[in-house]
Structure 1
Amino acid sequence: MALSCKTLVASLTLLTMTGCTIIPGSHFEGIESGKQTEKLEQDLEKVNIQIIDSTLINQQKQLNTRTSKPSNLAGIDTSDYQYKLGVGDVLTIGVWDHPELTIPAAVQRTAEFDGFRVQADGTITYAYAPNIQAEGKTVQEVHAELVKRLSRVIEDPQIDIKIVGFRSQKAYVTGEVSKPGVYPVTEVPLTLIDALNQAGGLTELADWKTVTFTRGDKTEVIKLDDFYAYGDISQNRLLKHGDIVHVNRNDAQKVFVLGDVKRAGTVTVDRYGLNLARAISDAGGLNESTADANGVFVLRKRDYEQDGVIADVYQLHAKNVAALVLAEQFELQPHDIVYVTSAPLARWNRVISLLLPSIATVDSIDDLAATN
């Protein structure tokens, strides 16, 4: 049994790396069984096998506790935020006690329609104050310049300026949100989280873990889950003109449930996570007449180049009643493979033997993956 389990482990490790579908009866050419066996034994030394028990669950909980603490709680300081005017923005300007300098409100016309638009050369023109530079200036700076100009003809002018049309600066929210589109950057600071909320929030098909944030030619991954789940406000960003926030689909947030279950296929890891018990349940449960309850494996690919380990393999002895509790506490990760063997395990030896040639070398695995 121990040797068969190791053989199955090596075979399933192959599946995690190639993503290929192997059909019993197929075969691989050019590799002899002796070489297969020798390479298999070598690869088994690169697989980390663990039993899913209370000790492992406690270790994972401690690890999650350590990694879930946000590394930086520094938020966005908007205390000194000031909107800078741009071409296309519209202002209303009024001078107290001088109605001749104020455009009267008209029926069926908006303040934006009657306002002063920042022209292509970045200026606005007002009575007695032509060609005031507005682009790149704050309202306060334009106000000061207007007071200076009008003081030449009006004693102590009291001027009121408001922005009634924000047309120069925009941020974009795309992907799996309820209302993707263009959102103006205004005098009220717009953060990444604000923009997602204005876009109606994420859809059911959205990846709740991360979003991509692009500014210019630089793109970074924002850990959205760290913000919502752990309060890591360092994941937020103050948006500027041209910024793009993209919400991916959760297609990659999948776990593969294979083997002797009623509905083999993929199960989505949603925003609340996914445990082993639910993954098996969503696959219809084990085939009671043929499945080996002690042959429930979870395979998790590792970075071989970094630590010399091909995969972590976890085995659940599901015949034990306590295992059901353990399965509910064992959290899966995207791209995990849950594999349920048949009883007896020896029935899978033929399929396993067909898989062995693919783990002859790392290069041959990469070549196989490229052709599937």
Structure 2
Amino acid sequence: MQTRFPIRLRPALLLCAALALGGCAGSPPETASMMRNPGYGAGGLNGVRAVDRAPRLVNIIAVTPEVLAREGGATGDAGGGWAYRLGVGDVMQIFAVDAPELTLDAGYRVEMDGAILVPFLGRVPVDGRTTEEVRADLTQRLRPYFSAPQVEVRVTGFNARSVAVVGDVQRPSRQPITDRPLTAIDAINAAGGFAGDPERARVTLIRGGREMAVDVRAFLESGAPTPVLQDGDVLRVGGRIGWGAPEAPARATARLLRPDGRLQSIDLVAGPVSVAQVVPALGMIPGGAVYVLRASATGIDAYQLDAAAAVNPAIGGMFRLRAGDLVTADPAPSVDPEQQVSRLTPALRAMARPQA
């Protein structure tokens, strides 16, 4: 289970956090202010934000087995941390101990309002949720009826999300997004494979109006990962003269903040890199802690592992870095969340610097 420590930044930390999360060194100064985030109440979170910017929070997250399973996988291109989110048109099934009436032969179709109609419970919103989130919600809603409800949720019909594979493949088609990550090469294979020579094929991923090259040669020669596709992607194989050249694939890198303050790039293209692999460069000592800083929708998540866990093959060896991560160490970590954030200030500043 994830342990979150929401941070109330002291005034002394305000400027550092604003510089770290609001811009790079050398940028024009910005006025920073401490603002109450809506929805947290009188004792809730305080976030630091620059004027006209959304609140940015630093969350200290102790790495537990649950966190490791959810966040510790390989880079997105390798499918780590993949979770399917339900959408309109999907069909799901509910299985509940002591409540067989919740299991319907036809299952539950997600309707246009993003909800399903469940006996006892009425309409339950599921659009945009994972099956685990729906399971937890249903369990909570069933507590008034059963003392210890046990619920399982499965998607039996994936209809809401898909990608299109077009061009020089055997069967141009639309491929469904499911609860298993669909890579570019998987989608091409599902479309019957390349119609021509794969080593000479030009493969382009179109996402949000942008074109990005997919390095098929690297996959064929060394097994390098190809991108995991998202709902609405178009994968074009081949092309016509006159179409603009796609952008070169961005190099997937993480960074390491060494004890002497130097930033070191970590190349993730050749394959997954774990926390345990980079710990020697940090000069870890017993009692120290490793932090993996990772950008989130609301700010920075700082995943914390103690020195023993960081070198443990079952923990640090399984926590794989993602593109954009920054790894740092604290030889004498505090148990106070505010002090932890204070000591992470150099890493937060480094996080804001553009990668070379």
**Higher share in helix:** 1
* Greater RCO structure (CA 8 Å; 6+ sep): 1
Q: TM-score range by the shorter chain?
A: 0.3 to 0.5
TM-score (norm: length of structure 1): 0.42
TM-score (norm: length of structure 2): 0.44
